[in-house]
Amino acid sequence: MTMQEFTALIPNDKVVLVDFSAVWCPPCKKMEPVLEQLQKEQGSKFTFVKIDGGEQTSICKELNVEGFPTFIIYKQGKQVWKKSGIVEISEFVKEIQ
């Protein structure tokens, strides 16, 4: 995936939550049920994009993603929030608003 392809996944008119994770990452697996719950409860408010950071290393490098999982929220095409590690569902809900 190129940076241009990644950028195309982030429409200017939507809130986008990007999950940079890897299949071999235990904290990423721990976050899966949290993200599923978030999508179930708040799915109409945002678009969810999952990036395999283990494979998409150039995008991770360009966006300074240094660990997994890392979550980035975009609003109007601009990055407004970024956090690595375990994130509580309440924090996602607050940031998506």
CA–CA separation, 97 and 82 (whole Å): 15
DSSP 14-34: SEEEEEEE-TT-HHHHHHHHH
Q: Which of 28, 38, 63, 87 is catalytic?
A: 28
Q: Which of 25, 34, 49, 89 is catalytic?
A: 25
* Active-site residue, 60 included: no
* Active-site residue, 28 included: yes
CA angle 90, 74, 88 (to 5 degrees): 15
Catalytic (active-site) positions: 25, 28
